[in-house]
């Protein structure tokens, strides 16, 4: 049953009617929502859509974030994780070294390894294959969700293999899904200005298209809050939506709130709570063909994540253990969270926590 959402604005009322009638929102609709200060109406409408898609269930996973190397050939303006080879703090772990790290933090409930890292040109593609192989052999029960589309493009360049061949080699050693990173903002102008010297817009989309055609279900992201316009953000969502129409391979869309390089940066250097919540809600309204929108507590904090669960988000991410990339860029949030805290957070929003696997199969429902 739809809740009455009062609006004396004709364009907002038109959007409400479109959403309730199952009509797809346009670029103009999305930009209008960003320019509106009526967060409550936008949030209520997104909540309505989410309840229709997912009921009151909010999903999470017991996972660990792993980073084999922080050496990277790219120099993206927003990244403070990357290092040059030989620089202080630079590292490249062997499979055995990563296994030793995992064993220090592992517990039997962990279902997924979330693996990303730098584009290290000083090791061959086989290094990245062997990294996954070592983990898969030691922890065969844990799903490998590894590498971004930008990393797959990088592997293709250093190996001379096609995207399909790169993915097939990784799938042979246990790859089951791709992470969503590397999207940033899907705009060539943005990528040039922000020195995103890695996979371009068409390459990012083509990697995911190839993965989907091989049967991999993947994640996708949007890193917002720097130089992009509201129109850039909506065009980003629409490109993801178009590929989803074609392949139906995206499981979740993850809006990532840009973090300042300096952890001591003041609030004026960070996205506002208003902007974060609005972006999650608008993502839910624009991306009508993607099942889940994630509220990423690493970037927006646990309390705002809880509010986001009433404004369109149906995924609270996972336990992580120790996140490094956003924290290298200045995130002030926890590096990980316990299962108990996640349950408390979800229940506190009046929602039903559901532990899932990588593919959103339900493991346990906490009524």
- Are the C-beta atoms of residues 225 and 232 closer than 8 Å to each other? no
- Are the C-beta atoms of residues 302 and 342 closer than 8 Å to each other? no
- Whole-number Å distance between alpha carbons of 288 and 294: 14
Q: Is the dihedral of CA 356, 54, 28, 249 positive or negative?
A: positive
Cα angle value 327/65/308 (rounded, 5°): 65
Tokens of 115: 């693996």
- In sequence order, what are the residues at sequence separation of 6 or more whose Cβ sits closer than 8 angstroms to the Cβ of residue 355? 59, 60, 61, 62, 339, 362, 363, 364, 365, 366
- Whole-number Å distance between alpha carbons of 242 and 281: 19
Tell whether 79 is in a known binding site.
yes
Alpha-helical (H) ranges within the chain are: 10-20, 27-35, 39-54, 95-105, 125-138, 149-159, 163-172, 188-193, 201-213, 230-247, 273-286, 297-300, 302-308, 325-328, 339-348
Q: What is the dihedral of CA 353, 358, 359, 362, to 10 degrees?
A: -30
Closest CA to 110 of 70, 158, 67, 144: 144
Tell whether 62 is in a known binding site.
no
DSSP assignment of 146-189, as one string? E--HHHHHHHHHHH---HHHHHHHHHHTTEEE---TT-S-S-HH
Tokens of 298: 């690493």
For 365, phi and psi rounded to 5 degrees? Answer: -105, 125
- Whole-number Å distance between alpha carbons of 285 and 26: 10
Tokens of 346: 């979800």
Q: What residues form the annotated binding site for [4Fe-4S] cluster?
A: 72, 76, 79
Q: What residues form the annotated binding site?
A: 72, 76, 79
């Amino acid at each position: 049953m739809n809740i009455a959402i009062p609006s004396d604005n004709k364009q907002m009322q038109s959007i409400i009617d479109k959403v309730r009638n199952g009509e797809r929102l346009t670029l103009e609709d999305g930009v209008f929502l960003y320019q509106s200060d009526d967060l409550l109406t936008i949030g209520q409408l997104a909540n309505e859509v989410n309840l229709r898609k997912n009921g009151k269930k909010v999903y999470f996973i017991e996972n660990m974030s792993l980073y084999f190397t922080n050496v990277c050939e790219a120099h993206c303006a927003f990244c403070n994780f990357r290092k040059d080879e030989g620089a202080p703090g630079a590292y490249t772990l062997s499979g055995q070294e990563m296994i030793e790290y995992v064993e220090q933090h592992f517990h039997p409930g962990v279902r997924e390894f979330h693996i990303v890292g730098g584009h290290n040109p000083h090791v061959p593609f086989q290094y990245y294959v062997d990294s996954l192989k070592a983990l898969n052999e030691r922890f065969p029960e844990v799903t490998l969700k590894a590498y971004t589309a930008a990393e797959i493009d990088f592997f293709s360049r250093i190996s001379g293999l096609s995207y399909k061949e790169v993915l097939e080699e990784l799938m042979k050693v246990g790859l089951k899904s791709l992470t969503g990173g590397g999207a940033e903002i899907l705009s060539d102008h943005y990528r040039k200005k922000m020195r995103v010297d890695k996979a371009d817009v068409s390459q990012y989309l083509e990697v995911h298209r190839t993965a989907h055609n091989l049967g991999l279900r993947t994640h996708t992201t949007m890193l917002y809050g720097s130089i992009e316009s509201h129109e850039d953000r909506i065009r980003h969502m629409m490109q993801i939506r178009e590929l989803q129409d074609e392949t139906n391979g995206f499981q979740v869309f993850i809006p990532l709130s840009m973090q300042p390089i300096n952890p001591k940066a003041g609030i004026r250097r960070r996205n506002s709570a208003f902007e974060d919540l609005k972006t999650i809600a608008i993502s839910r309204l624009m991306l009508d063909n993607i099942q889940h929108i994630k509220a990423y507590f690493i970037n927006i904090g646990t309390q705002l994540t809880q509010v986001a669960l009433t404004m369109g988000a149906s995924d609270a991410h996972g336990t992580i253990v120790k996140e490094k990339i956003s924290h290298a860029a200045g995130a002030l949030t926890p590096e990980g969270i316990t299962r108990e805290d996640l349950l408390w957070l979800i229940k506190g929003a009046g929602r039903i926590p559901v532990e899932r696997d990588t593919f959103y199969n339900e493991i346990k429902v906490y009524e």
